[in-house]
Amino acid sequence: MAMQNLRRTIAKEVEYEGIGLHTGTLTKVKLIPVFEVDESYPSGIVFLCDGVAIPAHLTFVKSSQRCVVLSNGDVSVSTVEHLLAALYSFGISDVHILVRGQEIPIGNGDATHWVKLLMEAGTKELGQERKVITVREPIEVRDERSGAYARVVGDKKLSVHYTFEHERPFIGVQSFFCDDLKAHFINDIAPARTFGFIEEVEELLERGLGKGGSLENCLIVFSDGYSAPLRFEDELVRHKVLDLIGDLALLGADLNARVEVYKGGHELHLQLAHLIWERLMSGEGEIQS
């Protein structure tokens, strides 16, 4: 999936219909090509919900608990991370996403349905150069209580070293290293499924969330094993990487950096992304185009 650094849209309209993981409602998503770049938006990827435009950018993040929710005023759209990860990995910088509902469909809990849809849509180059974020100095966020951390250092492309750790002995420590996330996305990252620990699933249901969850779209972790055979021995950490890509896509530009994460999640990922953005706005990094 080697690509020049040009802005891209999809070549034709495509749509997907499915259940939202948390709302349990049927949602239809239509991806619409954008052939003229609108610089008034901080991101060239824009969700269109109830007639309201919600750019896929950090400044529109409303919540990052369990999933990423974007909002503009009173209108919001949730669980955007898997779709954004796929768009980022296909090099698509500009697209309108018409959403009939409040949540992006979960599919099979991974990103393979988005991969198939984007392959069907194809891509088309736009004339402008894609924006690229260059990190001049290492940036780190850390949670002293849990020991979790996320950091970035400058690199020539987006690479990752992610470590996930859990007390369940059959999980232990899972580490995933990839020196080029775009090149390895389709085969090594997109198939990794959403997972949840049984005690967390019960909590979500009590809170009125997870209504669309099932054994078909979520890997459940019990006290003694998994609800289904793993696709990878380290599938849990690979799904964390999938989420990470979607979260970093909210920077609205390519990120040339090596990202190192230990015991991360959406909140930590987005804390790092916000700090990167703050450094850029203060002149301690640069966005090139």
pLDDT of 78-135, one tens digit each?
999 999 999 999 999 999 999 999 999 999 999 999 999 999 999 999 988 888 998 8
CATH code (residue 106):
3.30.230.20
- Rounded to 5°, the CA angle 237-59-53 comes to 105
Q: Verify that 165 and 97 share a domain, yes or no.
A: no
Which residues are annotated as catalytic? 266
* Band of pLDDT at residue 216, cut at 50, 70 and 90: confident
Judge whether 227 and 205 are in contact, CB under 8 Å: no
pLDDT of res. 39: 73
Given a cut of 90, whether residue 51 has pLDDT beyond it is: yes
Judge whether 124 and 9 are in contact, CB under 8 Å: yes
Other Cβ atoms within 10 Å of 129 Cβ, number: 13
pLDDT of res. 99: 97
Q: Verify that 117 and 198 share a domain, yes or no.
A: no
Encode pLDDT of 251-278 as tens digits. 999 999 999 999 999 999 999 999 999 9
Tally of domains in the chain: 2
Query: Which residues are CB-contacts of 197 (< 8 A; sequence separation ≥ 6)?
Result: 220, 221
Q: Verify that 264 and 163 share a domain, yes or no.
A: yes
Residue 1 within any structural domain of the chain? no
Q: Verify that 150 and 280 share a domain, yes or no.
A: yes
Q: Verify that 173 and 279 share a domain, yes or no.
A: yes
Q: Verify that 123 and 205 share a domain, yes or no.
A: no
Q: Verify that 139 and 223 share a domain, yes or no.
A: yes
CB burial class (10 A; 0-12, 13-18, 19+) of residue 42?
Answer: middle
Q: Verify that 195 and 119 share a domain, yes or no.
A: no
Domain end (from 76, 102, 129): 129
> What is the domain extent for residue 255?
132-288
Domain end (from 93, 112, 129): 129
